[in-house]
Amino acid sequence: MNGKNLTLIEVFGIKVKVNISWVFIALLLAWALAQGYFPAVYEGLTQITYWWMGIVAVLGLFVSIVLHELAHSVVARAFGMEIKGITLWLLGGVAEMADEPPNPRAEFLMAIAGPIMSVVLGLLFFSTGALFRISGNVTPIGAILHYLGTLNLILAAFNLIPAFPLDGGRLARAALWAWKGDYYWATGVAARMGSIFGLTLMAFGVIAALTGAGIGGLWWVILGMFVRFAADASQFQLRATYALKGRTVRDYMTRSPITIPPDITVTDLIENWVYRHSFEFFPVVDAGKLIGSVSLREVRQVPPDQRDRTRVGDIALPCSPENTIEAGASAADALKKMQGTGNSLLLVTSDGALIGVIALKDLMKLIAITTELGRA
């Protein structure tokens, strides 16, 4: 378990993870299929039959989404891009790429691979479902296969809408990139298209909800919010990448930070370091050797009546790749690490020795300034 993500399987060396939000949606969808869709479309079956149909259909959807994302991942790897994993969450799946595509052709082929996989799966489910007919009547298995076939074709069609970060938006970016030769500009245009599309979905959902669609309209609103958020996040990530390009951690770290020894009590830390310096994060150093860090997050976990008996060394987080970074590393890598771990400060080291700390707020300030001046 990593945060709210649970690793289920590993395929071709790619970890497939499920976010807790997807589990919630899967349960809700199984209930909706068992109590709504299947009884309405295929009458006369038992409740138990409807329930196992709903559960199997959701499992089929899971496999379909994983295969869709695996198609992206396999093509990405063929072009030398590192794939950290696949995560299924609230509204689908996402392949976590460590690098951006090297050229428009790689972007195009990687983006189109997912919808092609969904179309192939849709046709496969439809053709297989035709085998499960008895005297012209659809069997429960045939009904499930027909549903999955329809869903995969809808998934392919929806993903081809030219709105970033949908696959269609990536195809649009590839075309714009090839046309202008400017990846940054192409991403900006595609992301704005995604943001507008997200707003359109939200407006459509609100109108639908007010005119009687009920929960169906709410789904459109949620989907629109997701698309808009993802598009805006993509724009920010690109601005950040360009703002931090060529800059190192050493350029923006705070040098000679205030450190604390491991043998003081938590009460002493609060009274003589936190209140005095108004800092929330301190490197822990013992006889000149860096052993870890402590923040208010760790302090809050110690009950007030135990703080005068608890040593800082007992609650300090040891040095690890999650909370340390080399001074020569790129500032962009520091930002990625902060986003991935949730740490807003990192210990900066050189050959294992502490030489500073770098804060998320300082990187964000740089990104804001360069954006304002038009560099990013």
- Give 1's pLDDT tier (boundaries 50, 70, 90): very low
pLDDT digits (tens, 9 = 90+) for 328-348: 888 888 888 888 777 888 999
Measured CA to CA in angstroms, residue 109 lies from 102, 124, 170, 234, 284 at distances of 12, 22, 10, 20, 49
The second-level CATH assignment, the architecture, of 249-373 is Roll (3.10)
Mean pLDDT, range 317-328, rounded to an integer? 88
pLDDT digits (tens, 9 = 90+) for 75-110: 988 888 877 778 776 556 777 776 778 899 999 999
Residues designated as active site: 69
- What do you get for the CA distance between the two ends of the chain, in Å? 36
- Give 376's pLDDT tier (boundaries 50, 70, 90): very low
- Give 322's pLDDT tier (boundaries 50, 70, 90): confident
List the domain boundaries for the chain: 5-243, 249-373
Integer Cα distance of 300 and 240 in angstroms: 32
pLDDT digits (tens, 9 = 90+) for 252-302: 898 888 888 999 999 999 998 889 888 888 899 988 889 888 988 899 999
Point out the least confidently predicted range of 85-89, 187-191, 279-283, 349-353: 85-89
- Give 52's pLDDT tier (boundaries 50, 70, 90): very high
Share of the chain above pLDDT 90, in %: 23
Integer Cα distance of 310 and 303 in angstroms: 10
The b-or-e profile of 349-358 (16+ CB within 10 A means b, else e) is beeeebbbbb
Integer Cα distance of 332 and 243 in angstroms: 9
pLDDT digits (tens, 9 = 90+) for 125-163: 988 888 876 556 678 888 899 999 999 999 999 889 988
Mean pLDDT, range 40-45, rounded to an integer? 84
